[in-house]
Structure 1
């Protein structure tokens, strides 16, 4: 089965495959090592402090009250003779626990509200973000003091106050990042495959925003620690007989001139912990693409629940009448809001059919509506796009209505999409192997080893050397051409009956272009899959496709048999595209024609005829215009 869908293709000839050098972890650097040593010291003191220094921190010696710093008492003593250094060490646990609790509260609260807002309907989403923006308008310290008054002056009250006051800023951060990621092609493709909202959130969105969130967590811990010290210093935090660094700082400040270390000692502890958290944030900020792997892996539980409802891949489908198109759109119109209450229509009443085993090419200039038409056919256009059509279906699935779970699963297996820009179409937070095995495991019911073998075969089929070792790489570790080939291999890992290729050879050299087209052709012949091939290159399309559809300004201007495109082309725009391509018989002393909007169709025909007759062009370059 695998060999029939994924035809083997010899990789490009290379002398040797150089050993790939892994990027050294930022944790093995001066900031990284300093952060690790600092956090180890803080954790050790927090765990062992009460055991080692509790007796000295509570023992009273009135005769030695307010003793200056010495070898016996590094920070001196307080008003009843207790060792201040011992009290600072014991207070480490309380200070860190309160800071960690408030940080966890504001991060979890912001994460839940921000991610929930992304999934809410538009009006509810705007209402939630509106409330968060109002809270952000108030100074953060003012909110902390407000919440502190509500829960009275206590350690728990201060923790709740700082945690709740920090939620709006984290919510805004999470919402902005999640909204930007949710518009990426790989998220849209996951929706078409049939992945649920929660799984998309935990597998595709959260891992991509995890790294900034980890940096924000470390930075928030530093800010929270300083806030606790400030509240306790003001008497609004930890209350007697308990103490933390802020309370010790307040007690020692009155004797700053007689025993400076009584105030400097707790201050040094606060600064040291703040610097450690800052170093952690700096180190995490230099770890791109390494997000929350554990979070992504935790979504496997949700995936397992979805598998219980899996429809078998071999489930019987209703017979399609002979002569019926594999995919079809009639009267397709695609519009977008113009921001002023109206809409701008980009695709105007397009009719397109793809027969089983047919390769249909769509050609036209940028902005002609090629990709919009293909994405509408695949069901990949979401709001704010407004899609309307008399008929829009794939096989017996009506893409214009609500899709059932079984229909979405079929689309995930039988519809393959090769996006134009693989850098935005591949999930940067997941490895290539994880993305290539998704369809096999989700919809074909394969085990991990089987799905991995199929992914290896997919990479090998598109000419990627050492596919076994490259499955563990991230997209940024692939070159542009390799990413494009990986996208093609991903589209072939299912059982595609229709492949939509949106300029799949754009980033490839001519040798690899030929190999990629050979892979697509072999896959089409082996499975009788239909292909919608989008390109700017009319010569490439006419050589690869069976039928060519020419689009201009959101409408189809002509449909031609690819073998007779030069002979049968009648529309001025199609003739202009053909005239712009040189061949072996082109006169190299004459400038090439170009497409321009400055001339009318009648002038275009006259210019093409003139160029074909060998007349001298009236300007420095021939303009073939619509």
Structure 2
């Protein structure tokens, strides 16, 4: 439950429905707890002189075939009826949690088998499942409890699977995975606390359904057996004398109705109080010194020139290489054939170097970063000739050592600071988790380290802030705290995926300055992914331009604006508005749309939008190779910008169009105005 759970429960009790339901449930529970003591004697007293008597002042609901008072028997049966219903609900919740979290814990293949079994079980009616399990476990109270509990487990398991899948896609779970936290620990600390409220709501509603189901089984003779009795058993006995004494059947039926209605109304009220009306309809019965910037740029240029092209020899990495990627491919299952949103990416990042990655949405930027961080979706397949972090092979199977290496050497900064932290845990505890898990620090030492890291990322009053929840932080503070989490270890590489997109300009400047300062102080490498060419130009030494899953140009930052060789790179930089842009002319745009990764053309993927494209471009995909100017480019017509290139870019029609798109249409396709990554890129 989160910080406001107590206030939400109070809000539930303030509504008329909530007060009524809570009152009824309280009465039922009190009767169940204290019931047998005051009236057990009268409920079991046999009076053969008063058999099958009708309602009277002495016997409000009459007597049964042994002269026992039916009203007192209904009151005494409350404990067994409610207790068995709650036991069945507990079995439903426990079995549903085990089945629902199995796909997360077991992985893709075993998890798929569990999910398939759950879906098959859901296809059968709940009553049929209950009867099936009743036959297996046998008649009686214990068998009926297991039968009803297991019959409700598939629907509860599907709910858990859905909720876990939603929370598992959040950035704070990815951050925990990058930190090397195991799946079971993530489940207990991050997933379950964030889905507890909807589970409580549905378990409450499911308790009412279990009560009705239990009464039904006892009525059919498969539940509680004589001499014990619950409401269903009393209803069964009352039906036999319905025409002699109707109250014998009405009294237990009324008890089932009131208790079931109270539990269901309470579940409805809790759902509305917690703001989860959509879930109610679910059919659930349950420091080193700083080098000058000029020296870094020169070193970056020399390293760029020393790299091999994508199709060439991989070679041996230098001693200062932090990340070495050769021929990285990421594929997902498609309707006809695998879809490859990342195709043959090769890059090398050295200590202290800042490398930027730019490109339109869907170009594969974020997916490349996720593949490096081992955060791709379970359905995705990552292949590479080499994928090394500090010389360690990231393609190796998951292990404690692998997780420890990632957690200590790699820091990930996500796009949305609001989803970067678990909302149910304090900031300091989340930062301290990294130190406790990887560095063996105790609780006090880890918390002190967390406070120190918050101070290092320029958060004022870090001791107080460490004890606050994420919602008490502003967006910029959350982003800085996220960077602080990455600094809990000794990271050699920071991967920042659109770290300033959700922030205003002032806070954006602060975050970028912080990343620059960290990189300079500790000689940390930086991989910065952004749509904003200006941001990358300001922060990075080298820029990788991606299009359709490939690196189409790799060049030093100072050459990006005036010396780019690829038409797409020039189009990207040309689409950035400038202060001296003529106000009477439309903004430059890139006509057409990016290609679909599932329908890649035979030749150059940019050919349909390129003003310089020839037939060779449409037939042959150019390799990424060294140009005489010094940097790498994948283009058959690589050259500096010609005087009329800007005009050709604006006038070139998009694929399938007879004329250039309008300014409104083109602006929607412009790289600088694309707000977020595509669905494929963020899978």
Q: Shorter-chain-normalised TM-score: which range?
A: 0.7 to 0.9
State the 1:190 CA deviation: 3.0
2:350–2:525 CA contact under 8 A, matched in 1:
yes
- Could you say if the C-alpha distance between residues 254 and 337 of structure 1 is closer, same or farther in structure 2, counting changes exceeding 3 Å? closer
1:158 to 130, 139, 144: 144
**Secondary structure of the residue that 1:417 maps to in structure 2?**
strand
**1:273 aligned to which of 245, 251, 259:** 259
| 1:173 aligned onto 2:169 | no
The DSSP-based 3-state class of the residue aligned with 2:367 is helix
Deviations 1:258-314 (A, max 9, x none): 65543332222212221232244235434479xxxxxxxxxxxxxxxxxxxxxxxxx
Match of 2:598 in 1: none
Contact residue 189 and residue 380 of structure 1 kept, 8 A? no
Per-residue CA deviations over 1:396-439 (Å, capped at 9, x if unaligned) read: 21112235533421320221001123444433444434322221
Alignment of 1:114 with 2:100, yes or no, is yes
Residue equivalent to 1:294 = none
**Residues 545 and 569 in structure 2, CA contact (< 8 A), matched pair in contact too:** yes
- Structure 1 residues 625 and 214, CA gap change in structure 2 (3 angstroms): closer
Provide, for residues 106-136 of structure 1, a one-character-per-residue CA deviation record: whole Å limited to 9, x for no partner. Answer: 3222322332344446454444433433333
Q: In 2, Cα distance between the equivalents of 1:357 and 1:33? A: 62
> Residue in 1 aligned with 2:357?
362
Q: 2:63 matched to which residue of 1?
A: 77
Q: Does 1:25 align with 2:20?
A: no
Cα distance change on mapping 1:244 and 1:379 into 2, 3 Å: closer
SS of equivalent to 1:602: coil
**Could you tell me which residue of structure 1 aligns to residue 207 of structure 2?**
221
Q: Deviations over 1:331-385 (max 9, x none)?
A: 2222222133x21222222221111111111111111121122222223235322
Structure 1 unmatched runs, 5+: 1-19, 290-319
Q: CA deviation at 1:91?
A: 0.8
Partners of 1:409 and 1:443 within 8 A in 2: yes
Aligned-partner SS, 1:347: strand
Please point out which of 578, 595, 600 is paired with 1:583.
578
The aligned residue for residue 85 of structure 2 is: 99
Give the Cα–Cα distance (whole angstroms) in 1 for the partners of residues 523 and 496 of structure 2: 16
Distance 1:168 1:241 in 2: 33
Q: Structure 1-normalised TM-score? A: 0.82
2:517 to 518, 522, 527: 522
Partner of 1:561: 556
Task: Answer yes or no: is the 8 Å Cα contact 1:484–1:507 preserved in 2.
Answer: no
Contact 1:26 1:283 in 2 (8 A): no
Alignment match of 1:494 (pick from 489, 492, 496): 489
Q: Which moved more, 1:37-46 or 1:606-615?
A: 606-615
Matched, 1:392 2:379: no
Which residue number in structure 2 is paired with residue 54 of structure 1?
Answer: 40
Distance of 2:398 and 2:137 partners within structure 1: 50
When residues 456 and 600 of structure 1 are mapped into structure 2, their CA distance, relative to the original with a 3 A threshold, is same
**Among 509, 515, 527, the residue aligned to 2:504:** 509
**In the alignment, is the contact (CA less than 8 A) between 2:567 and 2:610 conserved in 1?**
no
Q: Choose from 602, 618, 623 the match for 2:612.
A: 602
Contact 1:211 1:288 in 2 (8 A): no
Would you say 1:243 and 2:238 are equivalent positions?
no
1:564-595 CA distances to partner (integer Å, 9 max, x unpaired)?
A: 43232222112112211232332222221011
State the shift of 1:210 in Å: 3.0
Distance 2:590 2:34 in 1: 77
Cα deviation for residue 478 of structure 1 reads 5.4
What is aligned with 2:326? 330
Tell me the SS of whatever aligns to 2:224.
Answer: coil
Q: 1:617 to 1:122 in 2, by over 3 A?
A: closer
The structural deviation recorded for 1:457 is 4.9
Change (3 A) 1:355 1:273: same
| Pair 229,482 (structure 1): closer, same or farther in 2 beyond 3 Å | same
**Matched residue of 1:326: which SS?**
strand
RMSD between superposed Cα atoms in Å: 3.5
* Residues 100 and 221, structure 1, Cα contact 8 Å, conserved in 2: yes
Output the CA distance in 2 between the equivalents of 1:499 and 1:65.
84
Is structure 2 residue 367 aligned with structure 1 residue 372? yes
CA shift at 1:24, angstroms? 2.6
Provide the residue aligned with 2:302 in structure 1.
Answer: none
For the 8 Å contact 1:418–1:500, the answer to whether it is kept is yes
Deviation, 1:509, is: 0.6
Q: 1:433 to 1:283 in 2, by over 3 A?
A: farther
Distance of aligned partners of 1:23 and 1:175 in 2 relative to their CA distance in 1, 3 Å threshold: closer
Cα displacement string for residues 181-221 of structure 1 (whole angstroms, at most 9, x for unaligned residues): 44444434433433223223323333333333322322222
SS in 2 for 1:525: helix
Structure 2: unaligned runs, 5 residues or longer: 277-315, 593-607, 614-636, 653-659, 672-683
Tell me: CA distance 1:253–1:478, structure 2 relative to 1, closer, same or farther (3 Å).
farther
The whole-number CA distance in structure 2 between the counterparts of 1:144 and 1:54 is 31
1:141 aligns with 2:127: yes
Q: What is the distance in 1 between the residues matched to 2:274 and 2:29?
A: 23
Indicate the residue corresponding to 1:546 in structure 2: 541
Aligned-partner Cα distance in 2 for 1:592–1:113: 55
Query: Bigger shift: 203-212 or 460-469?
Result: 460-469
